[in-house]
Structure 1
Amino acid sequence: MNSYYEKFIATGEVKCIDEEIPFEIPSSWEWCRMQDIMKFVNGRAYKKEELLSRGKYKVLRVGNFFTNNEWYYSDLELPDDKYCYPGDLLYAWSASFGPQIWNDVKTIFHYHIWNVKYNSRILLRDYLFYFFLYDKTQVLSSTTGSTMIHVSMENMKPRFIPIPPYCEQKRIVSKINELLPVIDKFDDVQKELDTLNALIKESLKKSILQEAIQGKLVPQITEEGTAQELLEQIRQEKLQLVKDGKLKKSALTDSIIFKGDDNKYYEQVSNENTDITEEIP
């Protein structure tokens, strides 16, 4: 691999950055730091009393991207860069983070959101959007599940982004748009399969246990004796414990369950037999 170098225009310093480059790219592409080709513009930090139940402008917060359908409003007239417009590429950097494409009316956006500004003659919005999605997976893979994620601007600006030729950016976006519906379909099928596997697992477990306790899981071997003999052995041991004074005589009032010649089940307590066929599971 040929080495990568970075030249600092202000000082003329050149240094090798091979250890920082995450992967190889085609020869017609270039690596850039985000801060050199785009700008992250923060929204406005609101005081609680400035957020209204109704007003001229919506106030877009991070939660509105994901689960929160409740909106605050504002009547404040702000500098133009504190509004987002249809088609803007936004980035939520707090908690539930990641890129979003804004497709609503002119709206004020909160401080926890960036509006990503770039030269649209050089960079395709949707290419940047998909790159940010990829970059999000890299951030998540390096973060423990219990950690609240905040992507700071200081961390974001020096990160590397690979830049393809403009026409290739278009082809990449077109191919991703073609493949994502297939991936989504696969995801749906996989979820159905996972559910089915879980059901099969429980059904098989239940079936095997059912076979086991009904005496159908392993062959019956006459030479091994019967359970009746085991129960009689337990009864004789109890009798001996009573004789030895280690067990009260009242403990001998246990029952004997047996199957009669009429194929019904009976329970014998003392000398009395009771039909319990309907109780046998």
Structure 2
Amino acid sequence: MEFLPMNNWQTKKLGELAEYLNGYPFKPTDWVNSGLPIIRIQNLNDENKEYHYFNGNIGEKYRVRKGDILISWSASLGSYIWDKDDAWLNQHIFKVLVNENEVNRDFFYFLSMTILEEMKRKTHGGTMKHITKNLFENIQVQLPPLSIQQQIVERLDAIRKLQELNNKEIEKTEEMFDSLIKQQLALRENLVPLIEIAEINPAVNIDKSKPIPFISMADVDGNMGRVVNISYKENSGVGSGSRFENGDVLFARITPCTENGKTALLNGLNTSGMGSTEFYVLRAKKDKAIPYFIYLLTRTDWFRQQAVVSMTGTSGRQRVPKSFFENVLIPSIPLSKQKDMQIMFSKIQEYQMIISARKDKLSELFESALNKAMKGELVS
């Protein structure tokens, strides 16, 4: 498959390719507990965000059905395909009615992705990302013939299917990991306070004569439960914060990081380091526990839920108190059993690393293919 040169493509305005219907300006007084969900920008960016509902009738133009293309145009720029049941569309989101005589629906979706990504780059650092309907409709694009559009869609869809399969494998492996943790750490009769097997925020000496390893909250992947980046700072660039050594466990104490699983076991450090003030540092007590057991324990939904219930402070800035770790009861498991658990779960995590790396590579492949396709450079 070889695509036509760009000079043979047609120049079109986005307004010629589709109609863009803005959502309805719902007010909080319109929200109820039943009816159809209201799609807000946060619902498009995060599937876990709570929906509000509306049980009236505001017209067909505001109803979204499965397969509709949606474009958020205020504060957050993005293109989406709605994959759920009927819903109402909130303001600041366009519902796109594609002119299929001019453009393939799926091709338009891919095209809009590249346009919005370019707009994001141009507004990087700005306080507000916002595009008007008139501005959007007048953006000029290069459009290949419908037959070439279809070929591009097929090529990109093939990569997306690989991404979907890999994502399902990631979900399946995470579910298996969590299920096995629950089985292995099922609460037993012999319960002990956590502080019997682990120190909380132990004293750590920092060598300030050389760059200090530093781990921020963003450096911890909550889904994988691991550190994904370590920066190094001079002594003058590090203030107060958590202090840790190799083998320690970091546990996020502030909402929503606690709920999001920001927990990690530190491996491979050859010197002590520092991190966000919002981490608790847990260290396994010798002859009582191994570091990996403390890590597994703090990764469980049960432990995290207990921590969340104990939170104190104002809404949005609630934190897990240190007293939680002093009072929470955990199952007492022999060291030999803990070591067996480490062998089993380490193998699962090694596989998780493989499919996580595959996810990154597929994402890079898709981005590369998408950019080349829109420049007429993609060939079979």
Question: What's the TM-score once normalised by structure 1's chain length?
Answer: 0.55
Percent pairwise identity: 21
Cα distance between partner residues in 2 of 1:196 and 1:106: 41
Give the match for residue 199 of structure 2: none
Conservation of the 8 A alpha-carbon contact between 2:9 and 2:143 = yes
Q: 2:118 aligns with which of 138, 157, 169?
A: 138
1:170-189 CA distances to partner (integer Å, 9 max, x unpaired)? 1111222334577998xx9x
Write the letter of the residue equivalent to 2:125: G
Q: Which runs of 5+ in 2 are unaligned?
A: 171-220, 233-266, 273-380
When residues 203 and 48 of structure 1 are mapped into structure 2, their CA distance, relative to the original with a 3 A threshold, is closer
Give the match for residue 105 of structure 2: 125
1:7-39 CA distances to partner (integer Å, 9 max, x unpaired)? xxxxxxxxxxxxxxxxx9624320111112211
Q: 2:128 aligns with which of 124, 138, 148?
A: 148
Cα distance between partner residues in 2 of 1:84 and 1:114: 10
When residues 49 and 170 of structure 1 are mapped into structure 2, their CA distance, relative to the original with a 3 A threshold, is same
Q: 1:65 aligns with which of 44, 52, 66?
A: 44
Give the match for residue 285 of structure 2: none
Residue 167 (1) aligns with residue 142 (2): no
Q: CA deviation at 1:115?
A: 0.6
Conservation of the 8 A alpha-carbon contact between 2:77 and 2:120 = no
Q: 1:84 aligns with which of 64, 69, 82?
A: 64
Write the letter of the residue equivalent to 1:155: L
RMSD, aligned CA = 3.4
Q: CA deviation at 1:109?
A: 0.4
Cα distance between partner residues in 2 of 1:75 and 1:181: 36
1:1-281 alignment, distance < 5 Å: 26-54=6-34, 56-67=35-46, 68-179=48-159, 195=228, 206=271
Cα distance between partner residues in 2 of 1:75 and 1:197: 49
Q: What SS does the aligned partner of 1:64 have?
A: helix
Cα distance between partner residues in 2 of 1:178 and 1:105: 25
Write the letter of the residue equivalent to 1:64: N
Structure 1 or 2, whichever has the larger Rg, is: 1
Question: What's the TM-score once normalised by structure 2's chain length?
Answer: 0.41
Q: What SS does the aligned partner of 1:104 have?
A: coil
Equivalent pairs counted in the alignment come to 178
1:139-166 CA distances to partner (integer Å, 9 max, x unpaired)? 1221132422112212211001221111
